[in-house]
Amino acid sequence: MKKFMAAIAAVVGLTLWGCPDVGIDDPGLTPLGESPTPEETPTPGDTDSPEPSPGTTPTPPVTPTPEEPTPVVTDDDGDGYSEDDGDCDDTDLGINPGATETCNGLDDNCNGQVDDVLSVWYQDGDGDGWGADPGAPFVGCRQPAGYSAVGGDCDDLDASAYPGATEVCDSVDNDCDGVSDEGIGAEAPPDAPVWHKDDDGDGYGATGSTVISCNPIGEGWSLTEDDCNDANAAINPGAAEVCGDGVDNDCDGAVDEGFDADGDGYSSCRGDCNDANAAIHPGATETCNGADDNCNGQADEGLTADTDHDGHTAVGSCSGLADDCDDRSVGVYPGADEVCDGKDNDCNGQIDEVGGCRRR
């Protein structure tokens, strides 16, 4: 009851002090028994916000920032770079910061340098595309005449020698691997010959064991394969034929050939006593001609020389019927009929001794 009376007194007091509108329904007053409601914090710039309390700094209103216009980016040459991106020549499609520098007198990559790409060039004396490493190489943007971009040529005076070249049998290190004419068998150079085993060491090989290589792999190998007897060093294609030994010394398939000068089948080493006359040889028939036709060491043995072919030879010409007193006349020989012709027809030492012949 005391609290209620105190509240009435307060209202009456305020009315007396000139505050006629203040009452218990004023929003600024809190009814008895209730907690006061906290005031809302005014929003900056809110014109409806209450006036700041005395002693506080008022918050200035927020002024909105005007939006700047978006700049227009131009790429005149269409290379994907503008001047703002560093394109130092926006009229040339090949010039921009992403381009590759080339030797053309231009700053292709826009780094402020012209033709700053340098290369090392090696002198190529033989023109095989490979330069020699020794000496002073040329460093520059452009390749000078007589130079190559690659080095490593082991012989710059021989165009057949450079790294990667095909090795051939020429005593040259063609592929510049430090070895010449290397390789055996399938790994040998393509022009490598075939070597044949030479068992008798006469310089001539035979068919059988072979190896492909530029050079022999040791002793006892030959490039030939036509030795007909590789167990006898005296028999090979380069040997001289030996007369009368019955051996094919020179491996030509014939025995004692080359010694029969007259072609009668007999050579001097096989008993031909006259190798210049094909009618004279050990197999010939002896005739009465004053020669040893059959090469038995005797001439005209057992034969007669009958010049007129009357069956009788001249006296003293050949053994046998050597009783023809005129071997030039057919009708004159011992036993012929004597006729009146002024000759000793019967070779009895008398002429025309028959009766009836008229003598002068």
Give the DSSP letter string of 253-315: S-SSTT--TT-SS--GGGT-S-TT-TT-STTSPP-SSSS-TTSSS-SSTT----SS-SS-PBT
Identify the pLDDT of residue 4.
45
Identify the pLDDT of residue 176.
96
pLDDT band at residue 147 using 50, 70 and 90 as cut-offs: very high
The H or E element spanning position 53 is: none
Please determine, for residue 96, whether its predicted confidence score (pLDDT) is greater than 90. Answer: yes
Please determine, for residue 329, whether its predicted confidence score (pLDDT) is greater than 90. Answer: no
pLDDT band at residue 352 using 50, 70 and 90 as cut-offs: confident
For β-strands 147-148 and 221-222, DSSP reports them as unpaired
Q: Which two tokens stand for residue 6?
A: 């105190």
Q: Which two tokens stand for residue 139?
A: 């460093």
If 0-12 CB within 10 Å is exposed, 13-18 middle and 19+ buried, where does residue 130 land? buried
68-72, 118-122, 228-232, 342-346: least confident range: 68-72
If 0-12 CB within 10 Å is exposed, 13-18 middle and 19+ buried, where does residue 196 land? buried
Identify the pLDDT of residue 64.
80
The Cβ of residue 172 has, within 10 Å, a number of other Cβ atoms equal to 17
Identify the pLDDT of residue 232.
96
Please determine, for residue 15, whether its predicted confidence score (pLDDT) is greater than 50. Answer: no
Q: Which two tokens stand for residue 292?
A: 């040893």
What does pLDDT average to over the chain?
A: 81
Decide if 189 contacts 213 (C-beta within 8 A): no
More confidently predicted of 349 and 127 = 127
Average pLDDT of the residues in 173-191: 94
pLDDT band at residue 29 using 50, 70 and 90 as cut-offs: very low
User: Taking Cα atoms as reference points, which of 247, 189, 249, 198 lies closest to residue 224?
Assistant: 198
The Cα 123–Cα 137 span in angstroms is: 7
pLDDT band at residue 327 using 50, 70 and 90 as cut-offs: confident
Task: Give, in order, the Cα–Cα distances in Å from 297 to each of 103, 272, 292, 322.
Answer: 103, 11, 6, 22
Please determine, for residue 77, whether its predicted confidence score (pLDDT) is greater than 70. Answer: yes
Average pLDDT of the residues in 163-167: 96
Average pLDDT of the residues in 102-110: 92
If 0-12 CB within 10 Å is exposed, 13-18 middle and 19+ buried, where does residue 186 land? exposed
The Cα 238–Cα 235 span in angstroms is: 8
Decide if 141 contacts 171 (C-beta within 8 A): no
pLDDT digits (tens, 9 = 90+) for 250-293: 999 988 777 888 888 888 878 889 989 999 999 998 887 878 99
The Cα 326–Cα 314 span in angstroms is: 7
At residue 204, what is the residue type? Y
More confidently predicted of 274 and 342 = 274
Average pLDDT of the residues in 348-354: 84
**Residue 165 C-alpha from the chain's centroid:** 7
The Cα 284–Cα 264 span in angstroms is: 10
Say whether pTM exceeds 0.75. no
